[in-house]
Amino acid sequence: MASDSSTVGRFSASFTDNRSIEALKAAAARDPKATIKEASKQFEALFMQEVMKSMRSATLSSGMMENSATQLGTEMLDTQFAGKMTGLPGGLSQAIERHLQRQMGITPETLNRASGTGLERRGDLTGTNAALPQLAKKNVQPHVQSFILQHDGAAKAAQAATGIPASFMIAQAAHESGWGKREILNKDGSSSFNVFGIKAGAGWTGKVAEVQTTEYVDGKPQRVTAKFRAYGSYEEAFKDYARLLTGNDRYRDVVAKANSNSAEGFARGLQKAGYATDPEYANKLARVINTTVRVQRALA
């Protein structure tokens, strides 16, 4: 589907203009990937034109053969140069593209659904429409519902392998990824699908995403650069999570007691086993588990 170029033109003036962002959201609803990519290129082109303009203003002019016609020609030439320098791999437009996606809450799942690979196109939301208005009245955001529904199948497969309730695993993925809004990204901006925040240790031989994260040392948060596992899909992430918990002795009690344990007990068990360094990890995770269970019951 072609992007809405007229809409792109209207919001290209500013990142922070609310009307521009709303226009971008409307166009992104029809074709998010193409629209955001085109918008990013336009922003980069505008920036490059300003750079060219600044460079020319800093250069001493001779005054010879300079008039409104030559000035117009120079500006048109600068526009062409800016266009040629826009959209290159690793350029500014890719960084802008990621910024726009985060600002509008557009995640890789959103892009998948728009392209026809998501849950809505597969019909997995059948029978849930009646529950959605009720959830909205309870201040349950659409992205929360979407996250739970999207990962339901992979979580149930992992439950069969570990005995850990699917709701617990979906909640942990939600907590680690901010309901899909803070996913660990590869260098090219694509998703690593690592919704559990599993690090790439010495024994990991797969792909790696290297990003900054917060670790707690002696109870104090510190920003560090760490390597995380990268997968080819969310299903792979859930399978690897299942292998991690069942194949590591330190999680033995967590797995053994998972089915008979409460949300708080499961969360405390994970923290005690060293899954995360955040001293409040158990309390935070328990709250997300309770939210997940509540939404799942409403959708059932």
The tens digit of pLDDT for each residue in 19-32 reads 555 555 555 555 66
Q: What is the pLDDT of residue 114?
A: 45
pLDDT of 227 reads 93
pLDDT at 270: 93
pLDDT tier, 145 (very low <50, low <70, confident <90, very high otherwise)? confident
**Residues in a beta bridge with 224:** 213
Which position has the token pair 């499961």? 266
Mean pLDDT on 50-57? 68
For 32-42, the pLDDT digits (tens) are 666 667 777 77
Region of poorest pLDDT, from 63-67, 133-137, 156-160, 282-286: 133-137
Distance CA 195, CA 275 (A): 14
| CA–centroid distance for 208 within its chain | 17
For residue 56 the two structure tokens come to 């020319």
Catalytic residue among 31, 44, 97, 240: 240
Please give the DSSP secondary-structure letter assigned to residue 264. Answer: H
**Average pLDDT over every residue of 182-193:** 92
Count CB neighbours of 1 within 10 A.
Answer: 10
Distance CA 146, CA 119 (A): 9
- pLDDT number for residue 135: 54
Catalytic, 215? Answer yes
Whether 60 has a pLDDT exceeding 70, the answer reads: no
What is residue 102's predicted lDDT score, i.e. its pLDDT?
62
- pLDDT of 45 higher than 90: no
Question: What is the maximal distance between C-alpha atoms in the chain?
Answer: 86
The pTM (predicted TM-score) of the whole model is 0.56
Residue 121 pLDDT exceeds 90: no
**Beta strands in the chain, from DSSP E residues, in sequence order:** 207-217, 220-230
* pLDDT of 56 above 90: no
Distance in angstroms (rounded) separating the CA atoms of residues 155 and 62: 70
Task: Provide the CATH topology of domain 108-182+234-299.
Answer: Lysozyme (1.10.530)
- In the chain, what are the domain boundaries? 5-103, 108-182+234-299
Q: Which of 210, 215, 253, 280 is catalytic?
A: 215
Whether the CB-CB separation of 254 and 273 falls below 8 Å is answered with: yes
Q: Residue 125 — very low, low, confident or very high, per pLDDT cuts 50/70/90?
A: very low
Residue whose entry in the numeric block shows the structure tokens 């360094």: 277
pLDDT score, position 190: 92
Tokens 């208005």 -> residue? 133
Q: Is the pLDDT of residue 117 over 50?
A: no
Please report where in the chains the tokens 């699917």 appear, as a residue: 166
CA gap 170, 288 in Å, rounded: 9
For 212-233, how does the pLDDT look when each residue is reduced to its tens digit (9 = 90+)?
887 777 777 888 888 999 999 9
Q: Rounded mean pLDDT of the chain?
A: 75
Q: Which residues contact 21 (CB under 8 A, 6 or more apart)?
A: 11, 15, 103, 104
**Percentage of residues of the chain with pLDDT beyond 70:** 57
* 3-class secondary structure, 119: helix
Please give the residue that has the higher pLDDT: either 196 or 221. Answer: 196
Share of the chain above pLDDT 90, in %: 34
**Which tokens belong to 217?**
């040392």
Q: What pLDDT, on the 0 to 100 scale, is given for residue 260?
A: 76
